[in-house]
A and B are shown apart, each in its own frame.
Chain A
Amino acid sequence: MLIHHELTTHVLADIKFDPGAFVDQFWQNTVDGLSQGSIYALVALGYTLVYGVLKLINFAHSEVFIYGAYATWFTFYGLGFRPGSTPDLPVFELIGFLLLALVVSMLVSGGTAVVLERVAYRPLRKRGAPRLAFLITAIGASFVLQQILFLTRGGNAERSIRLMKPEAQFTIFGAEITNVTLIIIIASVVLMVFADVFVNRTKFGRGIRAVAQDPDTATLMGVNKERIIILTFLIGGLLAGAAAFFYMIKNPQGASYQGGFILGIKAFTAAVLGGIGNLRGALLGGILLGLVENYGQAFFGGNWRDVVAFVLLVLILMFRPTGILGESLGKARV
């Protein structure tokens, strides 16, 4: 009790209201929030797609993400780079290495997601298990994947390896835009557009929407449901892998066995914020969350980051229980 009491007084003493800092750093925080938000958004897509198709919150998606982060690290390591100072690489070599790491992360995360579906969820589906069983399995699978990392790589984060230093390229309203930020934002937007077009414009996407809307009718119409489910996990995994790569060039210390947990929760929050099951909702939710977190920190102080994020969630769900854009992958109007 004593501890709790002292904790509260500490916390209250720590809160600060600093509108000055908020205004001064507004643009810089906007830029940083956009890059962090893009990462949330890409991970959130995985939650939202799987939910749309299976009505399952895939809690192991945070581990799908962190396997991608490890893949990036191992790619850098395998290329011969070691923790310590940042090397000075020729531009083309750098781009080649980064692209390779991106592709490897996407494949590893995509592979993890597909294996996860195969090992953890498909046997349950075949036996017609109730929805709660899936949820518990998801949490269990998340622990298993975490502990595999813990047993093989230990409890500490991998030491940071990075191939490029963030260097300011230009400024907008006094906010410095670094090369890392540029890569993250541009590449994320490309991937988001790709995902959106894939789901809304292609034959496979139509299959995903059909299964989301009415699995039985979709099967009758000749859609292979199992195949669509694998595809959904694969796409979610690929996007999480890309997000993991961006995360690692932004935070090279990111590869730790529990490192996916908070980020996964945040991405899940982003998906709910935008309306779970809604593709564009997840994108909007992710970016909004990234921005609000940064503004909140400038206003209230660094330790209020998570509080601000979750207060936002509570507020939005209070007024729009289905999220900002509503639940819609399962609706005909997607």
Chain B
Amino acid sequence: MQKARLSRVIVLAAVGAVALGACSARNESDSGGDTPPQSQAAAPAQASNAANPAGDGKAQCAPTSIAYAGTINGNNAALGQNILYGVDLAVTQHNKANPGCQVKLEKFETEGTPDKAPGIVTQIANTNSIIGVVGLPFSGESKAAGNIFNDKGLVQLTPSATNPTLSQNGWKTFFRGLGNDNTQGPAAAQFITQELKADKVCVVRDDSEYGTGLADAITKALGEKATCQQTVKTKQIDFAAVVNDIKSKSPQAIFYSGYYQEAAPLAQQLSDAGVDAKFVGPDGVKDDEFVKGAGDAAAKAYFTCPCVPADQFTDFSTAYKAASGKDPGTYSPEGYDLATILLKGIDAGKKDRASLLDFVKTYDGQGLTKHFKWDDKGELAKTTVWTYKVEGGKIVRNTEIK
């Protein structure tokens, strides 16, 4: 009797599912397209002397490994995958061109959280065959695990962690492949007040290391124009009270300091509530996932990012697309550049952690995205910040903030 009833429920559910699956797709997404044409800065051309992972094809080395550590399927996975595919491409190109020097890329999933990263990084540090790491994309996990790299003398090149304090811990192994938020914060403030002409700006931060650090930097740079502050939590998706508060302050622009996972629903709920302020997000928000998640609200969004548009890096973009099936995303070229630096070191005969660390420390060379030469804290001398906007459902470059 009970058995019969139970199976009836299951059959009913199954029939429903099949019936639903049979219907065809409609309403293919096509968000926005109503952005007025703005002056778009030309994307930088590919430097002719940019380091190429293929090298001269004559490199000889014993089999060795480098690693990528960061989110792969965890929080804000798209940001990590962009980097991973870039790194992977560099290693593949290198190995193909250099039969005498095969480098293995090992991938480690940190889920992007500060509580998981230290365990994973310890595991990497204890694997002696790994002599260099591209990774820890996020600031929170970098802060939690940076000392482990330092203790084991394992060189760590981060392609995207931008919290300024990361380079002030005395870690000898930390190198940042882009500008930090002491550059991005003021640049974003300048963009919002001068280009978007907003005098009342709401700064919304999440509770991550990255979000709080960047929010402090932009708030300081905005000065009196930062007229309201709000805080949200990682993984929050219902923002009713936050939206009500922002609405009552009627800002002209909103800067969301955090990642796309929370930014997408927030942007949508703000737009639904009739808040028509311009929505500006930093590099953590600049991803296609934001555009897809925020729906119609994405058409009005802008992004700031210490990343260089890859539009002109045609060789790279073509190879990237062939390998991953996608266009390069935020920090794909940066991941590629940093992996290339490690590979150059290996090709130059560096075969242990200490010598590879020395190699990176004294490295001085052009990459796709910029010139790489680090100071003693692991920061680059010259960095750039670009702004991006959404056009026809895609993120496109806007201007370079100077």
Contacts and interface: CB of A to CB of B under 8 A. Distances in A.
Interface in A7-47: 10, 14, 16, 21, 24-25, 28-29, 32-33, 36
Interface stretch (A268-276, A294-302, A314-322): A294-302
Interface string A294-334: 10011001110110000000000000000000000000000
Interface in A70-95: 74-75, 78-87
Given A155-B77, A262-B235, A226 B2 contact: yes
A251 interface: yes
Given A78-B23, A226-B2, A305-B233, A84 B245 contact: no
Contacts of A78: 17, 20-21, 23
A1 to B, nearest CB: 13
Given A84-B393, A298-B241, A303-B232, A107 B9 contact: yes
Interface in B250-285: 261, 264-265, 268, 272-274
A251 B17 contact: no
B242 A160 contact: no
B265 A80 contact: no
Contact of B13 (A81, A111, A227): A111
Contact of B17 (A74, A84, A86): A74
Contact of B268 (A28, A75, A108, A160): A160
B239 interface: yes
Contacts of A160: 264-265, 268, 293, 295
A160 B241 CA distance: 21
B235 A297 contact: no
A298 B73 CA distance: 34
Contacts of A253: 237, 264-265, 293
A109 B300 CA distance: 37
B6 A250 contact: no
A154 B289 CA distance: 15
Contact of A166 (B16, B241, B244, B272): B272
Interface residues of A, number: 64
Contacts of B261: 157
B231 A29 contact: no
A155 B193 CA distance: 37
Contacts of B29: 82-85
Interface residues of B, number: 59
B240 A36 contact: yes
Interface string A150-171: 0000111101101001101000
A172 interface: no
Nearest to A304: B231
B144 A298 contact: no
A221 interface: no
Given A86-B295, A104-B16, A110-B9, A25 B241 contact: yes
A294 B31 contact: no
A174 B151 CA distance: 59
A250 B265 CA distance: 11
Contact of A80 (B6, B9, B12, B27): B27
Contacts of B295: 83-86, 160, 162
A298 B30 contact: no
Contacts of A156: 73, 77-78, 289
A230 B2 CA distance: 9
Interface string B21-34: 10111111111100
Contact of A82 (B12, B25, B264): B25
A302 B232 contact: yes
B1 to A, nearest CB: 8
Contacts of B296: 85-86
A156 B289 CA distance: 10
A220 interface: no
A50 interface: no
Contact of A14 (B16, B23, B231, B268): B231
A80 B237 contact: no
16 contacts: A25-B241, A29-B241, A79-B20, A80-B24, A82-B27, A84-B295, A84-B393, A86-B295, A111-B9, A154-B77, A166-B273, A294-B241, A302-B231, A302-B242, A303-B233, A305-B236
